[in-house]
Amino acid sequence: DYDVFVDCVQNGEYDILEPFDSFSVAAVTGTASVSLGEKNIGNHTWSYDSEEPILINEMLQLSLNAAGEDIELQEIVIKASGSGDDTEITAIEIYVDENNNGKLEENEEMIADSQPAYLVNDGLTTLSFSDFTLEKDVVVNILIVYVMNQETSEGDFSLTVQSISGMGAVSQKPVVFSGLPLNSGVKTVLPEKSCFGELILEFEPNPTYKEQRTETKMSG
């Protein structure tokens, strides 16, 4: 709220005078939108590999944009679907995709998580963001990832982002993102990776004895 006074004595200072006019300035609530990221992973497969156990699996890259004012992210609502059992997923985590490549890299900032991922199969999960603000007119990519479980059974897994909400940093009014719902690609979980085949060991001489030089040949 502002008051305007007439500087009758022209001294450039406030004197006890009657206000000439009054007015108020109200912040206009900002807007926000979301779309699929350019490096969104789409359909893909995953299987547990005991020799290289990578449990983090990217599901969706989203591009967020704030207009009019900075927007503090508050909540995101995610719905699971597919033939797989979603309760076997360990967690959902959301990161800032700082290099915009659609892959989770070391040291990228996690801004929301839910563990367990879902309480029921094909369930709904609401994640709260932890102190992250979108700057106006700056596009930010985020990654939604599943933390898989070694015991995750075979099947198809996908998710739908149903809503994202925020709060205008200046207006302090709620902001709902447009452009939703958005669906992820389908992740197909395959059987655990295993090594099959024959391995033949040949020793020369055979039999061999203590302290005797022996040559071994592997084939198959």
pLDDT band at 27 (very low <50, low <70, confident <90, very high): confident
Instruction: Write out the chain in H/E/C secondary structure.
Output: CEEEECCCCCCCCCCCCCEEEEECCCCCCCEEEEEECCCCCCCEEECCCCCCCCCEEEEEEEEEEEECCCEEEEEEEEEEECCCCHHHCCEEEEEECCCCCCCCCCCCCEEEEECCCCCCCCCEEEEECCCCEECECCCEEEEEEEECCCCCCCEEEEEEEEEEEEEECCCCCEEECECCCEECCCEEECCCCCCCCCCEEEEECCCCCCCCCCEEEEEC
User: Tens digits of per-residue pLDDT, 175-209?
Assistant: 999 999 999 999 999 998 877 778 899 999 998 88
Check whether 18 has a pLDDT greater than 70: no
The mean pLDDT value for 139-154 works out to 94
